[in-house]
């Protein structure tokens, strides 16, 4: 267990539904645990699953270390992922904070949010020092076209005009 479930754990605001016949379902608050699924993926999930479906994604690879540092906001331990090769360990941090950051990236600041930019192009742009939509909109189209293979000035202007 790494902490209380934010949906149904101790102190959670929402009340869990009871059985139809008035039986009280296990009153004990749910807790979060790191689980390994049969398909090999991992997640932080609630011990009351399937009554509570709260879950947070975890990377598929690497050993997950539970550190002694705690996120003050969520009272969860910060996680570090050690990969199999010699890469630096990845400070994933609090799994809830990590997931929120991930969602924020998905919600528009990522370059892929722009029409016509796929994963490969986004990578090339990042290599050229353009990290996100803001960075792209501030960039000089001529310089971007110069730096990024296969991208013309007009294309960059189109991207910059993209309303998102």
Q: Identify which range of 28-36, 81-89, 109-117, 123-131 contacts Zn ion by CB under 5 A.
A: 28-36
β pairing state of 77-82 and 55-58: unpaired
- Number of residues binding to Zn ion, judged by CB under 5 A: 14
7 lines the binding site for Zn ion (CB under 5 A): yes
Distance separating alpha carbons of residues 90 and 134, to the nearest angstrom = 26
In this chain, which of 3, 4, 44, 52 binds Zn ion, going by CB under 5 A? 52
Q: Residues near 124 by Cβ (< 8 Å), separated by ≥ 6? A: 148, 149, 151
Distance separating alpha carbons of residues 53 and 49, to the nearest angstrom = 6
8 lines the binding site for Zn ion (CB under 5 A): yes
Q: Identify which range of 36-44, 64-72, 138-146, 156-164 contacts Zn ion by CB under 5 A.
A: 64-72
Considering only residues 80 through 109, tell me which ones interact with Zn ion, judged by CB under 5 A.
Answer: 94, 96-97
CB of 151 to Zn ion, least distance (A): 38
Q: Are 66 and 58 in contact (CB under 8 A)?
A: no
At 146 the three-state DSSP class reads helix
5 lines the binding site for Zn ion (CB under 5 A): yes
């Amino acid at each position: 267990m790494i902490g209380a479930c934010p949906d149904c754990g101790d102190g959670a605001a929402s009340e869990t539904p009871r059985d139809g016949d008035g039986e009280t379902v296990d009153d004990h608050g749910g807790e979060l645990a790191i689980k390994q699924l049969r398909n090999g993926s991992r997640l932080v999930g609630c011990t009351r699953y399937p009554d509570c479906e709260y879950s947070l994604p975890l990377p598929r690879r690497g050993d997950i270390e539970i550190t002694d540092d705690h996120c003050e906001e969520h009272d969860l331990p910060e996680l570090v992922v050690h990969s199999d090769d010699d890469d630096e360990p990845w400070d994933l941090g609090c799994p809830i904070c990590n997931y929120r950051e991930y969602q924020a990236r998905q919600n528009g600041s990522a370059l892929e949010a722009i029409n016509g930019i796929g994963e490969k192009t986004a990578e090339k742009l990042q290599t050229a020092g353009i990290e996100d939509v803001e960075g792209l909109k501030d960039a000089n189209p001529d310089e971007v076209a110069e730096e990024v293979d296969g991208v013309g000035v007009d294309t960059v202007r189109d991207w910059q005009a993209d309303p998102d």
